[in-house]
């Protein structure tokens, strides 16, 4: 099911450089990982100091329609290089309006043991379905033109 207004939030602040983090996101369609459909690196000037580990920080806000298999990379905008912090792969049909990915469900697996990440670290997605009437139980031929 197509979704819109995808907001990506981060809970907990990794100690990426000088105990700060400048996160940004990249969204890809999984069948074409060479092509970024959204990136907000230019807006990642915000530095999150390692102070509020329990609050949520918005790190991406994509307003267009997203559908199908997606791959989201959360990256750190470092002074010299960009570092991939974590990534998530999912299909828009199978996520809810609010979907939480705790550190145990994020890739790469090694980040759980890395002291840069607090144990409360998580990525939260908030989005809205395009259509309120179509469900996954409907046959494709019964769905509206968007779904």
Whether residue 44 is predicted with pLDDT greater than 70 in this model: the reply is no
pLDDT at 50 (0 to 100): 52
Mean pLDDT of the 8-23 span: 81
Computed over every residue of the chain, the mean pLDDT equals: 83
Whether residue 45 is predicted with pLDDT greater than 60 in this model: the reply is no
Mean pLDDT of the 129-137 span: 79
Mean pLDDT of the 122-129 span: 93
5 touches 135 (CB < 8 A): no
């Amino acid at each position: 099911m197509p979704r819109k207004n995808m907001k990506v939030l981060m809970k907990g602040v990794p100690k990426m450089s000088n105990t700060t983090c400048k996160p940004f996101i990249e969204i890809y369609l999984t069948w074409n990982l060479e092509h970024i459909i959204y990136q907000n690196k230019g807006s990642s000037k915000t530095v999150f100091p390692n102070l509020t580990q329990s609050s949520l920080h918005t790190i991406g806000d994509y307003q267009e329609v997203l559908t199908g298999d997606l791959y989201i990379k959360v990256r750190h905008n470092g002074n010299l290089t960009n570092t991939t912090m974590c990534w998530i792969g999912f299909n828009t049909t199978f996520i809810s309006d609010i979907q939480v990915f705790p550190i145990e469900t994020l890739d790469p697996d090694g980040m759980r043991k890395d002291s840069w990440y607090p144990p409360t670290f998580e990525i939260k997605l908030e989005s809205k379905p395009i259509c309120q009437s179509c469900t996954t139980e409907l046959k494709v031929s019964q769905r509206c033109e968007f779904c």
